[in-house]
A and B are shown apart, each in its own frame.
Chain A
Amino acid sequence: MKSKRSAVNFLIYTLLFALAAVFLAPIFIILLNSVKSNFYISDSPFSIPSGESFAGIQNFIKGFTQSDFLQAFLNSAFITVFSVGGIVLLTSMTAWYIVRVSGRLTKIIYYLFVFSMIVPFQMVMYTMTYYAFELGLNNRLGIILIYIGFGAGLSVFMFSGFIKSIPKEIEEAATIDGCSPIKTFFLVVFPILKPTAITVAILNAMWIWNDYLLPYLVLGSGKSRTLPVAVQMALTGGYGNKDMGALMAMLVLAIVPIIIFYLFCQKYIIKGVVAGAVKG
């Protein structure tokens, strides 16, 4: 019985390791190739860099100088931080209103938010880009507004689910204690929403930081270009020739902040998902 169970465990673990390897392989390959010279990247992309093939930090230096990395990094950070901040703050308030002020209008608003989740970006990207240019939103502040709009659907949906599980009496107790609605939200409701807010922040930060298409369409390759656009554009030479080594090195640098952010907050993502699902 015991040996049967350990055999099953062995099989499960093998399967899980295999799956983990499949998911981690692209990151591992990028890491390997970021320290290889260009010739060896195309010749033997899966080999471990050593001797001649090992390029040290040359690719990082090249990428850093050629792609205006710092400017693009700051653009990405500015857009991500303020978009995520805006999404978390505005959608949590919206969800609180939708849940607590029940009526036909709030129901319609809620379903509009949910509907926006299922509309694919590709369906609206041409009209959205046209109006972004028409309304002068083709800059760093403008794209923040667009991101808040695109991120609102899922975020309102997640916050609403969690707020429904918060007993209304807590807010009533705050009212009796002397809170105005704004104080009730910021001093009582929002701190309770912390796990969901962190989940929403992580999901949106990963999406916005890594997004290529929307910033490419709205900001283009100008001064406000974001990291994914900058890396792809700057390191592309004539006739489609690419400096793969520098590209890999810049990709490594680009994913580091979001991985750190994720690792820092990942314990809350689990809490957030569970907290919204189970009425406590």
Chain B
Amino acid sequence: MATIKFTDVVKSFDNGKVTVIPNLSLEIADKEFVVLVGPSGCGKSTTLRMIAGLEDITSGELYIDDKKVNDIPPKDRDIAMVFQSYALYPHMTVYKNMAFALKLKKMPKDEIDKKVRWAAKILDIEPYLDRKPRALSGGQRQRVALGRAMVRNPKVFLLDEPLSNLDAKLRTEMRSQITSLHQRLQTTFVYVTHDQTEAMTMADRIVVMDKGVIQQFDTPQILYNEPANMFVAGFIGSPQMNFIDASVVKDNGLKILFSGYEIPAPKEKKEYLEDYIGKDIVLGIRPEHFLSAEEAKSEKDCCTMTVKTEIAEMTGSETNIYFELGGKRHIARIKAEKKICSGDCVKLAFRSTSAHFFDKDTKMSIG
């Protein structure tokens, strides 16, 4: 069992001059795979390093398994960490790298050997046990770093952007390997990344952070379908959600007006949108929720608009169309039924039910 609990944790640097984490409260359940995600400097790595004990906590409490660990050194926290730069010991062979922590614990040699070979087999690095890290590829090094963490059989696995130095193909491969490793080891995983695709594909729950503050902590599905605010809505999803200035009017029903177009307010949001009648709001539409004119034909409650294509990107089965609306550039991703070129006028539509609405001042989701 390994739960992690932050209670009102504050982290400051330079004698309190710079506060990176103003107030963090978070509970990670046992055996959960939690991903901390956010832009650079949002405090996700600092949060992970506080769990590891590599950063002191300025105030507040941190518990691992209901045990306060604020003043417990890293080696006694029963955690293992995988670093972005792998942090393998360059003068040791792969075997020695993996056996190092166990040797320090004065574990019997045959037991160390058993554990190292067990991890090496799972990670498919058995042929490289006698090699030095410099003789390995990036992916192999990352697997060694994982193996070094695995052999310790820790309560908590901490992974700090472990895939960011790998190429796209290897990253996809390692992603699934880490996920299956989590399922196999049944341990709590805390994973830091700035890549929302990694977060969405691997996590049980995702913590979205900005400026040291948790914006939302929930499952990938909820973050995608019900973002708490504009930051989460913009951060989760690729390409990111389009934000269009709009206003709410009551004219023959509740309607949302934007850039000369209108859509009826969706039934489930009506109650909340009524508070905004006569006010400005922000309309959010995910690029993949746009429909081509053909697809929209059979749809009800759809808003169809004609836009001029600035750039068209063919990605295979889909086409990304960049267009301007309300003085801002937006992007739509539709099925690539026919070739679209820059300068072409295209009809795009979206369902009112797939639209998101945000308070223009607080940036919070409406409804």
Whether the Cβ atoms of A176 and B85 lie closer than 8 Å is no
If A172-B87, A176-B80 are given as contacts, then 5 extra A-B residue pairs at C-beta distance below 8 Å, sorted by A number, are A169-B87, A176-B79, A177-B101, A178-B104, A179-B104
Whether the Cβ atoms of A176 and B91 lie closer than 8 Å is no
B105 CB–A CB distance under 8 Å: yes
Whether the Cβ atoms of A188 and B89 lie closer than 8 Å is yes
Per-position 1/0 for B38-77, Cβ under 8 A of A: 0000000000000011100000000000000000011100
Whether the Cβ atoms of A178 and B105 lie closer than 8 Å is yes
> What B residues does A174 contact at CB under 8 A?
89, 100
- Cβ of A202 to closest chain B Cβ, rounded Å: 20
A191 CB–B CB distance under 8 Å: yes
> What B residues does A191 contact at CB under 8 A?
89, 91
The answer for the CA separation of A177 and B83 in the assembled complex, in Å, is 13
Contact A177 B100, CB 8 Å, known A167-B85, A169-B83, A172-B54: yes
A192 is contacted by which of B75, B90, B105 (Cβ under 8 Å)?
B90
B interface list, Cβ under 8 A from A: 52-54, 73-75, 79-81, 83-85, 87-91, 100-101, 104-105, 148, 152
- Cβ of B88 to closest chain A Cβ, rounded Å: 8
Whether the Cβ atoms of A178 and B75 lie closer than 8 Å is yes
Whether the Cβ atoms of A173 and B87 lie closer than 8 Å is yes
Interface positions, chain A 73-96, Cβ under 8 Å from B, are none
Whether the Cβ atoms of B104 and A183 lie closer than 8 Å is yes
The answer for the CA separation of A183 and B152 in the assembled complex, in Å, is 19
Contact A170 B89, CB 8 Å, known A176-B75, A178-B105: yes
> What B residues does A172 contact at CB under 8 A?
52, 54, 81, 83, 87
19 chain-A/chain-B pairs, Cβ below 8 angstroms = A167-B87, A170-B88, A172-B87, A173-B87, A173-B148, A174-B89, A176-B52, A176-B79, A176-B80, A176-B101, A177-B101, A177-B104, A177-B152, A178-B101, A178-B104, A179-B104, A187-B100, A188-B89, A194-B91
Interface positions, chain A 182-206, Cβ under 8 Å from B, are 183, 187-188, 191-192, 194
- Cβ of B222 to closest chain A Cβ, rounded Å: 33
- Cβ of B77 to closest chain A Cβ, rounded Å: 8
> What B residues does A194 contact at CB under 8 A?
91
The answer for the CA separation of A187 and B97 in the assembled complex, in Å, is 12
B83 is contacted by which of A173, A183, A188 (Cβ under 8 Å)?
A173
> What A residues does B148 contact at CB under 8 A?
173, 177
Per-position 1/0 for A135-167, Cβ under 8 A of B: 000000000000000000000000000000001
The answer for the CA separation of A169 and B54 in the assembled complex, in Å, is 10
Whether the Cβ atoms of B74 and A175 lie closer than 8 Å is yes
> What B residues does A179 contact at CB under 8 A?
75, 104
The answer for the CA separation of A187 and B99 in the assembled complex, in Å, is 13
Total contacts A-B at CB 8 Å: 58
Per-position 1/0 for A202-217, Cβ under 8 A of B: 0000000000000000
Write the chain A residue with the least CB distance to B101: A177
The answer for the CA separation of A174 and B75 in the assembled complex, in Å, is 9
Whether the Cβ atoms of B75 and A175 lie closer than 8 Å is yes
Contact A192 B91, CB 8 Å, known A176-B52, A178-B105: yes
Contact A177 B54, CB 8 Å, known A167-B85, A169-B87, A172-B83: no
The answer for the CA separation of A119 and B345 in the assembled complex, in Å, is 76
> What A residues does B85 contact at CB under 8 A?
167, 169
- Cβ of B86 to closest chain A Cβ, rounded Å: 8
- Cβ of A191 to closest chain B Cβ, rounded Å: 4
> What A residues does B73 contact at CB under 8 A?
175
> What A residues does B84 contact at CB under 8 A?
169
Write the chain B residue with the least CB distance to A166: B90
> What A residues does B91 contact at CB under 8 A?
191-192, 194
> What B residues does A183 contact at CB under 8 A?
104
The answer for the CA separation of A108 and B80 in the assembled complex, in Å, is 36
- Cβ of B190 to closest chain A Cβ, rounded Å: 14
Write the chain B residue with the least CB distance to A167: B85
The answer for the CA separation of A247 and B8 in the assembled complex, in Å, is 79
The answer for the CA separation of A111 and B312 in the assembled complex, in Å, is 58
The answer for the CA separation of A179 and B73 in the assembled complex, in Å, is 10
> What A residues does B54 contact at CB under 8 A?
172, 175-176
Contact A177 B87, CB 8 Å, known A172-B54, A183-B104: no
> What B residues does A187 contact at CB under 8 A?
100
> What B residues does A178 contact at CB under 8 A?
75, 101, 104-105
- Cβ of A273 to closest chain B Cβ, rounded Å: 18
> What A residues does B83 contact at CB under 8 A?
169, 172-173
The answer for the CA separation of A253 and B88 in the assembled complex, in Å, is 45
Write the chain B residue with the least CB distance to A169: B87
Write the chain A residue with the least CB distance to B83: A169
The answer for the CA separation of A26 and B92 in the assembled complex, in Å, is 44
- Cβ of B82 to closest chain A Cβ, rounded Å: 9
Whether the Cβ atoms of B87 and A170 lie closer than 8 Å is yes
The answer for the CA separation of A143 and B104 in the assembled complex, in Å, is 39
The answer for the CA separation of A64 and B13 in the assembled complex, in Å, is 66
Write the chain A residue with the least CB distance to B52: A176
The answer for the CA separation of A242 and B75 in the assembled complex, in Å, is 67
Write the chain A residue with the least CB distance to B73: A175
Which 5 A-B pairs have CB atoms at the shortest separation, nearest pair first?
A169-B87, A177-B101, A178-B104, A178-B75, A173-B87
Write the chain B residue with the least CB distance to A175: B74
Write the chain A residue with the least CB distance to B49: A172
The answer for the CA separation of A175 and B91 in the assembled complex, in Å, is 17
> What A residues does B75 contact at CB under 8 A?
175-179
The answer for the CA separation of A187 and B89 in the assembled complex, in Å, is 10
> What B residues does A177 contact at CB under 8 A?
75, 100-101, 104, 148, 152
The answer for the CA separation of A82 and B355 in the assembled complex, in Å, is 77
> What A residues does B100 contact at CB under 8 A?
174, 177, 187
The answer for the CA separation of A177 and B105 in the assembled complex, in Å, is 9
Per-position 1/0 for A3-29, Cβ under 8 A of B: 000000000000000000000000000
